[in-house]
Amino acid sequence: MSIIGHAARPDPADRALLQNDTASDVRRVLDTRPGCGDGLGHAAADTMIDQNPTRIQDQAQSTDLDVARDFLAAAYAGQQWSADQTRQPFSFRYTAVGDQAMTLRTIRFDGHLDGVMTPSEDFVVQWTTKGRASIGAGDDRIEMEPGRPQLWPQQGAAFSYDDYDQRIVQINRSALETVAGERGVAAGDLQLDHTVRPDDRALHVWRSSVQLISHTVMDRQASPLLQAEMGRLGALALLELYPVVSSSLPGELLLPKNSHIRLAVEYVHEHAHLPITTNDIAQVANLSLRALQHAFQRVFGMTPNAYIRQTRLDRVHDALLAGDPATTNIGDVARQWGFAHAGRFSSAYAEQHGEYPRDTLRRS
């Protein structure tokens, strides 16, 4: 069951109810160090650089169908959850390890479970190792493929699972925003496109990262600094797995006929800090160079290279507005975004933003 934007454990009242139920054999093992029990989804923005992050270790199991359903529903604030027995004997097991920036979770549920998950601030990637699973409904329905990661829709969605084993990586929004901010994504604007099918390269990066993260978070002797770095690694791998959706994309790109160009634009926004080429963009969008050029001219009235430059100038503008006039060096910011010639940069910036870089910095 994908877990969106809620604590790794139920609140004390729900936990006591489950533990005292005589029909249940639910067992929980919690880290009792100071600060534990605050849950996930509300971590401070500097969680990933915390030198002594609070460890989370959480377990539960039961052979009672109703108790297991209520446990998950209470833990994750789900709606309209229902559960039924299947042909095999029912059993349930849940584990969670990590810290407030990121947790790794497993769920085994030998039965049928369905319901609705509410919108979330956190980012959750899930995959099944057995059983049947689907999320969404109608045209938005996604059938899970065993072993293939799937980002949970942040706006919430219906789900239906049968006799499943599931692996989950949940990353706190503030933790992901910290890493995404280094790529020029403004805090509060971070959205990931869960409908994208990750390519083989991104899948390899994700699986390798999760393997390393798993070994580290399971090691009780791992240093706090190394544990914190695992949260950063998870965030980086997630940003490679799913593209950032720009809030400034024109509405025309949402039309089905423009799906290819939308992929191209999202790739530019996500990778503007890297030396990307039109060949890279065309490959991602599954278009020829000629078709890519025509598409950008039709939608934006400019070439793909001009769009890349425009995007980078926007990132410079954002950086200058957020900078300190006493310490920010305009040349350094420009070079960070690929503008090496000061005169041409200043002219292009003024043409796009209606003022020179120094004027923007003075207003910060």
Q: Considering only CA atoms, which of 135, 217, 229, 226 is closest in space to residue 178?
A: 229
Average pLDDT over residues 218-230: 83
256 confidence band (pLDDT: 50, 70, 90): low
246 confidence band (pLDDT: 50, 70, 90): low
* 137-162 tens-digit pLDDT: 887 789 999 999 999 988 888 999 99
DSSP states of 1-55: ----SS-SS--HHHHHHHHH-TT---------STTTT--SS---TTGGG-SSPPP
Specify the higher pLDDT residue, 222 or 132: 132
Residue 175 has pLDDT above 50, yes or no: yes
The reported pLDDT for the residue numbered 197 is 84
Q: Which of 71-85, 148-162, 173-187 has the highest mean pLDDT?
A: 148-162
The reported pLDDT for the residue numbered 199 is 84
Residue 288 has pLDDT above 50, yes or no: yes
Q: How many Å apart are CA 215 and CA 213, to the nearest integer? A: 6
Q: How many Å apart are CA 165 and CA 116, to the nearest integer? A: 19
Specify the higher pLDDT residue, 166 or 271: 166
Report the share of the chain in percent with pLDDT over 70.
80
Residue 281 has pLDDT above 90, yes or no: yes
Residue 89 has pLDDT above 60, yes or no: yes
Q: How many Å apart are CA 331 and CA 161, to the nearest integer? A: 54
5 confidence band (pLDDT: 50, 70, 90): very low
Helices then strands, each counted (H, E), the chain: 12, 8
Specify the higher pLDDT residue, 125 or 189: 125
Q: Taking every pair of C-alpha atoms in the chain, what is the biggest distance, in angstroms?
A: 76
CB 169 within 8 A of CB 124: yes
Q: Considering only CA atoms, which of 162, 1, 143 is closest in space to residue 88?
A: 162
8 confidence band (pLDDT: 50, 70, 90): very low
300 confidence band (pLDDT: 50, 70, 90): confident
Residue in this structure with the two tokens 């190394």, named with its chain if needed: 226
CB 15 within 8 A of CB 145: no
Residue 41 has pLDDT above 50, yes or no: no
The reported pLDDT for the residue numbered 280 is 92
Residue 14 has pLDDT above 60, yes or no: no
Average pLDDT over residues 184-196: 75
The reported pLDDT for the residue numbered 189 is 67
The reported pLDDT for the residue numbered 319 is 86
* 100-119 tens-digit pLDDT: 899 999 999 999 999 988 88
Residue in this structure with the two tokens 């609140």, named with its chain if needed: 11
The reported pLDDT for the residue numbered 184 is 66
- Contacts of 325-329 with CB under 8 Å at 24 or more apart are 325/361, 325/362, 325/364, 328/361, 328/364
Average pLDDT over residues 312-318: 90
Q: Cβ-count burial of 122 within 10 angstroms (0-12 exposed, 13-18 middle, 19+ buried)? A: buried
Spatial CB neighbours of 208, under 8 Å, sequence gap ≥ 6: none
- pTM of the predicted model, to two decimals? 0.60
Q: How many Å apart are CA 49 and CA 229, to the nearest integer? A: 8
Q: Considering only CA atoms, which of 117, 57, 111, 127 is closest in space to residue 81?
A: 117
The reported pLDDT for the residue numbered 49 is 42
Query: Number of C-alpha atoms within 13 angstroms, CB side, residue 274?
Result: 11
Specify the higher pLDDT residue, 282 or 45: 282
CB 134 within 8 A of CB 142: yes
The reported pLDDT for the residue numbered 38 is 30
The reported pLDDT for the residue numbered 4 is 33
Per the DSSP assignment, residues forming a β-bridge with 117 are 157
The reported pLDDT for the residue numbered 227 is 82
Per the DSSP assignment, residues forming a β-bridge with 126 are 150, 168
* 336-349 tens-digit pLDDT: 899 988 889 999 99
